[in-house]
Structure formats: structure tokens, C-alpha cells
Amino acid sequence: MSWAGRTVRSCTRIGIVGLAVVLAVGPTSPVAAAAAGWSVVPSPNVGPAAADDYLSGVSCISATWCMASGYYVNAQLGYTAFFEHGDGRNWSVAQSPRSGTPSSDVLVNDVSCTSALFCMSVGTSRDGGLAEQWDGTRWSVAPVPIGDDVLYSVSCVSAETCVAVGYRSAKGENARSLIELWDGTKWSVMASPNPGPASEYASASGPAHDLLQSVSCPSLRSCVAVGSYITPTGRGDTLAEQWDGTTWSIMPSPDKPSISTGLDAVSCTTPQFCMAVGNFQAVGYDTLAESWDGGHWSIVASPDGGPTGFDDELFGVSCPSATSCAAVGNDGVNPAAASGKTLIESWDGSGWSVVTSPNDGFSGLSAVSCLPLGPCAAVGAHSNGRNGGTLVEASQQQ
């Protein structure tokens, strides 16, 4: 698989990752804005062209402690990972073991923290999958099994138990689901099912079969992973898999009557409740939300914010409880015109509604982390044609 293919969060859909490619070069200019409880929090940029800095994941353990993962376009036009720490009022750059060297061409896609002394991040590099560990002071590489792999998401129950998901694909072969387990010392590959066909199907963006985009583990013996797979007819369908402490198994999940349906993020509060979000392709891309009640998945109506024919997508979700979730993404996206704005939606236990969120030109959000009865932090990137870079938005209460 080509390196260019790894920059796309989903092989079958246009993702928020594309925002990082079209950001204009220029100095950072934090947006002084607040709307309906959400406000922009100034966040630093570290790359040589500030507008090419992008935050991809965030994990908060308290109202005064969050960690965000990201990457920027370096001077060699490759990608370098970086991390930022938030204390409830300010964000600052946290040391990264691969920062600033041409050989550190990496994308960090997600981060999960269990305390101020432990976080795990995952992503991909030219060498395959990537994992890095935070010990309260610095980040260090946590080697993963070698392969032509991409890790999209990680969920940690403790410093001794993390699960990461993505896909594995040797050059010229179709992609298969990839699940790895951290035992406190090392990563190992877990057996995972694949509903996609065994023979290669070449989509418009290359081979793409079984892709796991997100994972959430509410307990040591319960995890749910979601994504998408390509059917023999070339249609993209949702994919959900469940860990019961012993094995991974397929969870039947519904699909929209469209060209392609996929799930990009999942958040589980207990084994009996999960919320997953993503998008489906109609005229453009529209938002998708599905809920798990402990027995089956069902589609939940979710609004779109953009005009018909433009892209409305949800890339991140966080549920402190079964009656409180926040989902983030972007709406009204026209990739040709580099236009679009942030999209934030709120779940109250019975339905989703759009929440007003601030923007500065072309803006998008990729991930969100919410605390029970407390604030949420969402991250992404923005550009107003003159400057841009990292974007952090915070709510006072979910």
C-alpha cells in the first residue's frame, strides 16, 4: 500500500484528515469566539508551516487534564507526530520521541489516557503500525508487531490493558481487520473476524476490505470495535465486532440504503450501551448514528448541518452516560472549494440535536472527550485562508 493511502482515515470515504491537506500556510491566530456553550481554546502549533498542524485525537481524565495527539507537515513534506496537554485553561506541547527529524514520518491517529501518568497513542509510519506511551513526563515508543499495518484507535482500561484497532494489508493484498492487545509490557495481535470477501476488490482508492476505525472498552472483559468493509459487489457496509474477554465476534449492524455506509467512532459506557457514529453516501455524505442496547444495533436519526449535496460527517463521539453524548465532525464540506465548518451534536438519551459551535473559515473536528456531568474537549484543525492550524474547542457542560 502506498504511503499516500495511509493519510486517509478511511479508504472508502473522504475524511476530516483531508482538512490537514488543504489548510493554508500562515501564522496561527486563535479564534476568540464562543457559541452556545462551546468556545475555542488557544492551542499551539509546532510545524514549520503552522497551518499544516492537525489534532487527531483527545483524551481527558479530569476538567484540568487532557492529552491530544496530532501531526504536522515537516520541512521534508512528510509527517511528524506531536502531542499537546491541556490543563483546563491552556494547551501546551508535550514532548514527543519522534519530533523534528526527517525519519520520523508518522501519523498519530488517537490517544487514550487512564491517568496523568499513563497514556497510549497509536498511528502509522513508513514501517507500519505505531504506538507511543506517556509516563507522566515524556512519550516513548512502545513497539508493535511489524507489518504493513495502520492503527486508527486505542482504548485503555488501565496501564496494563489497552486495545488498538486498524487494518493489516501486505502490498498488493486486500486489507483485513487488525486488533492488538497491550498487556503492560508488549503488544500482541488478537484473532479477529473478517466479513469481507477473501479475494481482492480494488476500490477507487485501492484494496479495502475490513477496516476497524474505532474501539471502546468499558471494562477489562468487554470491548466494541467499529468500522466498515467492502462487499463482493463493491458496496461499503458497517462493521461492528465485540470482545467478551475470550474472543472477538461479529455484531450484526444495520446499513443505510446507499452506496456506502461506515462507522468512524464508538463510545461505550457499559456492555449494555454504546453509541457509534459515521456517515453514509447519499447525494453527498450524510451523518450516521447507531446505538447498541446490549442485544442489537439500531440506527438513530441524526441531523445534518450542511446543504444538500455537500458532505456532513461525524468522526468522533464520547458518551459519559447513556443519556449524554457529544459527537463531532464537519458539515457543508465542499472539498473542491476547501469550505466547511465544525459540526457538534448532542445526545440526550432520546435524540440527537445540532449544537452551535464556533468556526474560523474552513474548520473541522476529528475527536471529542467528555467527562460525566462536566466539560468536553474537541480537537481538529482550521484555516481562514490566511492562517490556521490546530483547533481545540471546549464546552462548559455536556
Question: According to the model, what pLDDT value does residue 11 have?
Answer: 33
Tens of pLDDT, residue by residue, the chain (398 residues): 121 222 233 333 323 343 333 332 223 333 333 334 899 999 999 887 766 899 999 999 999 999 999 998 877 778 889 999 999 889 999 976 654 344 457 889 999 999 999 999 999 988 889 999 999 999 999 999 988 899 999 999 999 999 999 998 766 567 889 999 999 999 999 999 988 775 444 444 444 578 999 999 999 999 999 999 988 777 889 999 999 999 999 999 999 988 889 999 999 999 999 999 999 987 778 999 999 999 999 999 999 865 555 688 999 999 999 999 999 998 876 655 556 889 999 999 999 999 999 987 788 999 999 999 889 999 999 887 667 799 999 997 54
Question: According to the model, what pLDDT value does residue 148 have?
Answer: 80
391 CB-near residues (< 8 Å, 6+ apart): 40, 43, 55, 342, 360, 363, 364, 365, 379, 380, 381, 382
375 CA to centre of own chain? 19
102 CA to centre of own chain? 25
Helices (H), the chain: 18-22
Q: Are 164 and 150 in contact (CB under 8 A)?
A: no
Q: Which three cell numbers stand for residue 103?
A: 525519519
Q: Are 182 and 163 in contact (CB under 8 A)?
A: yes
- Rounded CA-CA distance 196/229 in Å is 6
Domain at 3-395: CATH code: 2.130.10.10
Grid cell 460527517 is found at 313
Contacts of 343-349 with C-beta under 8 Å, sequence gap 24+, read 343/287, 343/305, 343/306, 343/312, 343/313, 343/314, 344/38, 344/368, 344/378, 344/393, 345/287, 345/302, 345/303, 345/314, 346/398, 347/275, 347/289, 347/319, 347/323, 348/323, 348/324, 349/322, 349/323, 349/324
Question: According to the model, what pLDDT value does residue 241 have?
Answer: 98
* Best CA proximity match to 84, nearest among 52, 124, 44, 26: 44
* Best CA proximity match to 217, nearest among 157, 131, 290, 151: 157
Q: Are 281 and 287 in contact (CB under 8 A)?
A: no
Q: Which three cell numbers stand for residue 129?
A: 503500525
Question: According to the model, what pLDDT value does residue 179 have?
Answer: 97
Q: How many CB atoms lie within 10 A of CB 363?
A: 24
- Rounded CA-CA distance 65/113 in Å is 10
For 275, half-sphere exposure in the C-beta direction (CA atoms, 13 angstrom radius) is: 29
Task: Using a cut of 0.85, tell me whether the model's pTM lies above it.
Answer: yes
Question: According to the model, what pLDDT value does residue 120 have?
Answer: 98
- How far is residue 44 from each of residues 28, 109, 162, 373, measured CA to CA in Å? 8, 18, 28, 28
Domain-by-domain residue ranges, the chain? 3-395
Q: Are 44 and 84 in contact (CB under 8 A)?
A: yes
Question: According to the model, what pLDDT value does residue 27 have?
Answer: 30
Q: Identity (one letter) of the amino acid at 277?
A: V
